[in-house]
Amino acid sequence: MLLSPSHLDFRQEVCSFCSSTIEPRARSADAAGEFVKDNVRAMAERGLLGIPWPKELGGLGLDYLSYAIAVEEVSRVCASTGITLAAHTSLGTYPIYKFGTQTQKEKYVTALARGKYLGAFGLTEPNAGSDAAGIETTAKKTDAGYVINGSKRFITSAAFAGTVVVAASLDRSLGRKGITCFIVETDRAGFKVASEENKLGLRASNTVELAFEEMLVPGDSVLGREFDGYRIFMETLDGGRISIGAFCLGMAQ
């Protein structure tokens, strides 16, 4: 597939930005295992945290191919920054844009696209990874909202995120049909970063374990509908595979 002139121009623009701003910090950040917060801030200033989202929601209003180009170029000079960009956009923002209410989009997608904070996606658990339908994190419906208990593991950027889309089961006896997704603000009582992974690679990317202890979230934090969480996170993962392909291509270069 040949890139259009506008895509080629965008690639050159991102490539120049990466060479001048991202690449000089890459080796030292990886060696120290320090999160690439300066790179995140620089990407936010250029609008790269909101590439495929509409301008009215704070994004650049470009297509998904432009986003994949950016992930490839960023990953080419700093894999940790590339995976941070990919996880923020495909996992932290996409499900809210795709399945959220207009109110949720205006509140969260706008902030995420403008880089006010990062977004994360809480699915994997110590006992549920490839078998995502077997998650053990629970949500209990109450008059005040939902009370979430459980843990998530290997969650990208969550220690620096403002929101995490969390999958939890409202009824574990229903298996995958009992799962609901919630938009969780990370300053909520009961939300805890339990530990950070000391990785062999991508050391400047933040990867953590989360704990939820009697965490109360409001009723309007449900993403989509109750019991529709499995479909939501599976579609989210499908879209994320595009960015992971771009990430791997850039990293290989």
Helix 64-77 to helix 229-252 angle (10° resolution) is 50
pTM of the model: 0.95
Angle at 168 (CA atoms; ends 164, 172), nearest 5 degrees: 175
Question: Is 211 a residue whose pLDDT tops 70?
Answer: yes
**pLDDT at site 1:** 62
- 3-class DSSP assignment, residue 48: helix
Which domains are delineated in the chain?
5-116+238-252 (1.10.540.10), 118-225 (2.40.110.10)
For 40-80, how does the pLDDT look when each residue is reduced to its tens digit (9 = 90+)?
A: 999 999 999 999 999 999 999 999 999 999 999 999 999 99
89: Cβ contacts below 8 Å, ≥ 6 apart: 49, 50, 51, 52, 67, 71, 243
- Least Cα distance to 132 among 152, 118, 149 occurs for 152
Q: What pLDDT was estimated at residue 202? A: 96
The predicted-structure confidence for 122-171, as pLDDT tens digits, reads as follows 999 999 877 878 899 999 999 999 999 999 999 999 999 999 999 999 99
Q: What's the CA angle centered on 92, arms 182 and 131, to 5 degrees?
A: 70
How far is Cα 229 from Cα 235, in angstroms, rounded to an integer?
A: 10
